[in-house]
Chain A
Amino acid sequence: MANMKLTKTAMSLQDAEIRCHNFEEVALGYKKEEAMEEAMRCLHCAHAPCISGCPVGIQIPSFIEQIAKGNEEEAYRIIALDSALPAVCGRVCPQESQCESKCVRGIKGEAVAIGRLERYAADAHLQKGKQMDGKRQNNGHKIAIVGAGPSGLTCAKDLAMKGYAVTIFEALHEAGGVLVYGIPEFRLPKTIVQHEIEGLKQLGVRIETDMVIGRVISVDELMEEEGYEAVYLASGAGLPRFLHLPGENLKGVYSANEFLTRINLMKAYQQDSETPIQHASKVIVVGGGNVAMDAARCARRLGAEVHIVYRRSMDELPARKEEVEHAQEEGIIFDLLHNPICVHGDENGWIKAVECVRMELGEPDESGRRRPQEVKDSAFLIEADCMIVAIGTSPNPLLHKTTPHLETNAKGGIITDENGATSKQGVFAGGDAVSGAATVILAMGAGKKAAAAIDAYVQEQAIHSKNM
Chain B
Amino acid sequence: MFEILEKESLNPTVTKMVVKAPLIAKKAQPGQFIILRAEENGERIPLTIADYDREAGTITIIFQIVGKTTMRLQDLSVGEPLPTFVGPLGSASEIKGLKKVAVIGGGVGCAIAYPLAKALHEQGTIVHTVTGFRNRDLVILEEAFTKVSDRYELISDDGSTGRKGLVTDVLREWIEQGERYDEVIAIGPLAMMKFVSLLTKRYGIKTIVSMNPIMIDGTGMCGGCRISVGGEVKFACVDGPDFDGHLVDFDEAISRSATYRAFEARKREEYCQLMGKKEA
Contacts and interface: CB of A to CB of B under 8 A. Distances in A.
Interface stretch (A83-91, A212-220, A289-297, A443-451): A212-220
Given A212-B219, A257-B223, A261-B217, A171 B228 contact: no
A251 B255 contact: yes
B223 A211 contact: no
Interface string A232-252: 000000111010100011111
Given A244-B233, A276-B260, A216 B27 contact: yes
A222 interface: no
From A171, A254, A261, A275, name the one whose CB has the most chain B CB atoms within 10 angstroms: A275
Contact of B224 (A212, A248, A258): A258
Nearest to B256: A251
B1 to A, nearest CB: 10
B89 to A, nearest CB: 6
Interface in B36-50: 37, 41-44
B259 A251 contact: yes
A249 B41 CA distance: 28
Majority SS of interface residues in chain B? mixed
Given A257-B223, A275-B43, A212 B263 contact: no
Given A216-B88, A349-B256, A255 B222 contact: yes
Interface in A314-330: none
Interface string A151-181: 0000000000000000000011100000001
Interface string B221-243: 11110111000010000100000
Contacts of B78: none
A397 interface: yes
A462 to B, nearest CB: 29
Question: Interface size for chain A: under 10, 10 to 19, 20 to 34, or 35 or more residues?
Answer: 35 or more
B162 interface: no
Contact of A257 (B83, B84, B222): B222
Given A173-B84, A216-B24, A258-B224, A238 B68 contact: no
Contacts of A397: 220, 238
Contacts of B23: 211, 216-217
Interface string A254-293: 1101100110011100000111101000000000000000
B172 interface: no
Nearest to B227: A249
Interface string B253-280: 0011011100110010000000000000
A171 B219 contact: yes
Contact of B222 (A240, A267, A276, A349): A240
Contacts of B84: 173, 209-210
Interface of A: 171-173, 181, 209-212, 215-217, 238-240, 242, 244, 248-252, 254-255, 257-258, 261-262, 265-267, 273-276, 278, 348-349, 396-398
Q: Which 10 A-B pairs have the closest CB atoms?
A: A349-B255, A258-B222, A276-B263, A255-B223, A238-B221, A210-B86, A276-B260, A274-B43, A240-B223, A173-B84
Interface of B: 23-24, 27, 37, 41-44, 68-69, 83-89, 216-224, 226-228, 233, 238, 252, 255-256, 258-260, 263-264, 267
18 contacts: A171-B219, A172-B217, A173-B83, A210-B86, A211-B23, A212-B218, A215-B88, A238-B220, A251-B259, A252-B259, A255-B222, A255-B223, A257-B223, A258-B222, A261-B217, A266-B44, A274-B41, A396-B219
